[in-house]
Amino acid sequence: MPTVAAPELKSLRVLVLGGTGEARRLAERLARAPGIDAVMSLAGRTNAPLDVGMPTRIGGFGGVEGLMRYLTEAGIDRVIDATHPFAARISANARAACAALGVPLAVFSRPPWRVREGDRWTEASDNESAARALGEAKRRVFLTIGRLGVAAFRASPQHEYLIRSIEPPESQDLPPLSTVILARGPFEREDEIALMREQRIDVVVTKNSGGASTYAKIEAARALYLEVIVIAPPAYGDIPRLADLDAAMVFLGASATP
C-alpha cells in the first residue's frame, strides 16, 4: 500500500529588528514558540551584546536596498520592528523594504509617556525645535536626549547645559556653557530631584522614550514644578503596533502553519 508523506511543516521565518529590552523579551518568547524560526538583528552599537537565545546578525543592512536583499535571501516571512522609538532610520527602511516586497511588518515598542496632572510639558517635534523652545532668556537646562542630539543646542548658546548621556558627546557638538555627566539608567525619583535641586535646573529637555527606566526625571520635574520640553517620537504611519507579547504571537501565529 503506498505511503502518503505527511506535509512538511514550514517554519515561519521572522526577522526581529532589535537593540532594546522589548526585543530581548520578544526573543525569549519566540525562542520557545513552535513553528517559528526567528533571527535577531542588532546595529552593532555595543561591543558585547547580550545573548538573546536566538541566531543573531550584527550590523547595518546597507539601506533599504540592502534590507530588501537580506529579506529575500533569508526567506523572511514577517518582520517585527522592536527598535528604540527614536531609531527612525532603520524603522523607515523597514517600512520601505517590507512595502516593496509585500512582507508583513509590525512595530513592537513601548508606548510613549503621557502627560499627567501636575506635569508642565512643552511638546517639540525634534531637537532643533526643542532648542528654540528654551527661549531667549538664559536658563539652566538639564539635557537628557542622548549624546547624538546635543549639537542642535549649539543654536541656543546662551543657556547653561547639564548634559547627561551614557557615552560622552563629541566635544565639537557641545554648546559653550556645558557640563557633561555620564550615567546609564535606571534612575530613581529621589536622586533625580536631588540632582535637579543641586544643579539649580530651570528646565528639563528629554525625548519621549517611554518605559520605566528613565521616567524618574519626569516625576522629579513634576515634584519640583519644572517645565519639561518633551521631544515626540517619530510617527509610525499606518504600521500595526503590537501592544504586548501576546499581540506579537497573534501577528505571527496566523501564519505559523504549513
Question: CA-CA distance, 40 to 153, in Å (whole number)?
Answer: 35
State the residue number with the nearest CB to ligand NAP. 60
Q: What is the arrangement of strands in the sheet containing 227-231, beginning at the earlier edge strand?
A: 120-124, 227-231, 203-207, 140-144, 160-165, 178-182
Q: CB–CB of 125/143 below 8 Å?
A: no
* The pairing of beta strand 78-81 with beta strand 12-17: parallel
CA distances to 85, 192, 196 from 200, rounded to whole Å, are: 30, 12, 6
Residue 219 C-alpha cell reads as 516625576
Q: Is 27 in the site for ligand NAP (CB under 6 A)?
A: no
Site residues (CB under 6 A) for ligand NAP, limited to 174-233: none
Site residues (CB under 6 A) for ligand NAP, limited to 82-141: 83-84, 86-90, 93
Question: CA-CA distance, 57 to 191, in Å (whole number)?
Answer: 38
34, 43, 127, 37: which is closest to 82 by C-alpha? 43
| Window of 30-38, 78-86, 115-123, 152-160 that interacts with ligand NAP by CB under 6 A | 78-86
Closer to ligand NAP by Cβ: residue 52 or 256 = 52
Q: Is 43 in the site for ligand NAP (CB under 6 A)?
A: yes
Closer to ligand NAP by Cβ: residue 76 or 193 = 76
| Window of 15-23, 47-55, 181-189, 227-235 that interacts with ligand NAP by CB under 6 A | 15-23
Which x/- pattern over 54-73 shows residues binding ligand NAP (rule: CB under 6 A)?
Answer: ------xxxx--xx------
Q: Is 146 in the site for ligand NAP (CB under 6 A)?
A: yes
- Least distance to ligand NAP from the beta carbon of 257, Å? 28
Q: How many of the chain's residues bind ligand NAP (CB under 6 A)?
A: 23
Name 240's Cβ contacts closer than 8 Å, sequence gap at least 6: 106, 107, 251
Residue 253 C-alpha cell reads as 501565529
Question: CA-CA distance, 96 to 116, in Å (whole number)?
Answer: 35
Q: Is 19 in the site for ligand NAP (CB under 6 A)?
A: yes
Applying CB under 6 A, the residues found at the interface with ligand NAP are 17-20, 41-43, 45, 60-63, 66-67, 83-84, 86-90, 93, 146
